C-alpha cells in the first residue's frame, strides 16, 4: 500500500483559519500529519515535542511551507512544571488565546509491554510499566487540559481533542496501553460534561491499525495479517485520523461533545 494519501491542496474547513491550536506529539506520526493539515487550513500552530531541535525544525518547516504562524513549544508532557512553562510561552506568543488542544503525544509501542499478559509480568512491572505509559498518554493529556482550560474558560470557547485507541473500547492486549487510553476517554467525557456551559467541547478519536509509527517496524507478512482484521481489509492512513481530528475541531462538529469517533476500517462496530 502507499505510505500516505495524496495531499489535498484545496483542503479547508470552516472555523480553522487563524485559530490557535496546540498539538502535543506534533513532530512525528499522526501528530505531525495533523499539524500539517491544520497549517493547510490556515491555523496558527504551537508544535509540541520533547526534543528541542526536532520541535524547532518541524515548526520552521510548517511556517515555511504553509505561511502560517508557528511556535516551537518544546516540553515533556509528563512534567507538569514543563507543561506550565510551555503554556506560559504559548500565552505570550498567542496573546492569551487558545482555540484548540489536540493531545497526540503517546508512549511508543514497546513489544514487551504490549505482549506480556498481566499475570506473567514481574510485580515491579505491574507498577513500572503502567506508570510509564500512563505518564505520557493520560497524565500528559490531563496536565495540558488543566492549563488549556485556564485559557479557554475566560474565552467561553474551545475544543479539546484526545487520541485514544480501539482497545480502549473493545479490549485487546497490551494492558498498560489499553488502561491508559481508556482512562483518557473518561477524562474526555468528564470535561465534555463539566465545561459545555463554558462553550468548550471535548471529543476523542480512537484509531485502529494506522500506517504510522510501529507499522514501519513490521514485516510484510505481519502488515498483511493485521490489514485483514478490519472489514475494509487495509491499513488506515494517518491523514484519515488527522482529517477526523480536523472535523472535530471545526465548526462542522459544533454540536458534538463527549463523543469518541472510531477510525479503524470497521473492526470495532458499536
List the grid coordinates of 244: 477526523
Q: Do residues 133 and 113 make contact, with C-beta atoms less than 8 angstroms apart?
A: yes
CA distance 241 to 16: 17
List the grid coordinates of 134: 500512563
Neighbouring residues of 110: CB distance < 8 A, sequence distance ≥ 6: none
CA distance 173 to 147: 32
HEC string of 89-141? HHHHHHCCCCCEEEECCCCCCCHHHHHCCHHHCCHHHHHHHHHHHHHHHHHHH
Name the one residue in this structure whose C-alpha cell is 490556515: 42
Q: Are strands 200-207 and 158-163 parallel, antiparallel or unpaired?
A: parallel
Q: Is 162 a catalytic residue?
A: no
Q: Are strands 70-74 and 200-207 parallel, antiparallel or unpaired?
A: unpaired
Catalytic residue among 107, 177, 195, 215: 177
Catalytic sites, residue numbers: 177
Amino acid at each position: 500500500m502507499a505510505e500516505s494519501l495524496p495531499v489535498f491542496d484545496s483542503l479547508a474547513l470552516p472555523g480553522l483559519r487563524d485559530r490557535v491550536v496546540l498539538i502535543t506529539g506534533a513532530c512525528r506520526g499522526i501528530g505531525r500529519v495533523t499539524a500539517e493539515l491544520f497549517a493547510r487550513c490556515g491555523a496558527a500552530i504551537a508544535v509540541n515535542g520533547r526534543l528541542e531541535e526536532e520541535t524547532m525544525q518541524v515548526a520552521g518547516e510548517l511556517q515555511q511551507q504553509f505561511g502560517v504562524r508557528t511556535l516551537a513549544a518544546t516540553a515533556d508532557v509528563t512534567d507538569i512544571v514543563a507543561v506550565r512553562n510551555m503554556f506560559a510561552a504559548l500565552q505570550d506568543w498567542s496573546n492569551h488565546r487558545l482555540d484548540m488542544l489536540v493531545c497526540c503525544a503517546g508512549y511508543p509501542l514497546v513489544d514487551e509491554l504490549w505482549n506480556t499478559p498481566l499475570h506473567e509480568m514481574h510485580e515491579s512491572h505491574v507498577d513500572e510499566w503502567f506508570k510509564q505509559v500512563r505518564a505520557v498518554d493520560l497524565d500528559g493529556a490531563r496536565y495540558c487540559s488543566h492549563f488549556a482550560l485556564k485559557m479557554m474558560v475566560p474565552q467561553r470557547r474551545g475544543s479539546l481533542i484526545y487520541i485514544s485507541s480501539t482497545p480502549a473500547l473493545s479490549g485487546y492486549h497490551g494492558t498498560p496501553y489499553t488502561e491508559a487510553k481508556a482512562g483518557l476517554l473518561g477524562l474526555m467525557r468528564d470535561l465534555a460534561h463539566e465545561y459545555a456551559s463554558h462553550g468548550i467541547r471535548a471529543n476523542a478519536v480512537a484509531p485502529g491499525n494506522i500506517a504510522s509509527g510501529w507499522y514501519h517496524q513490521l514485516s510484510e507478512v505481519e502488515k498483511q495479517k493485521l490489514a485483514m482484521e478490519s472489514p475494509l481489509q487495509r491499513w488506515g492512513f494517518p491523514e484519515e485520523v488527522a482529517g477526523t481530528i480536523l472535523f472535530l475541531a471545526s465548526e462542522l462538529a459544533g454540536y458534538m461533545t463527549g463523543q469518541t469517533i472510531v477510525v479503524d476500517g470497521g473492526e470495532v462496530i458499536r
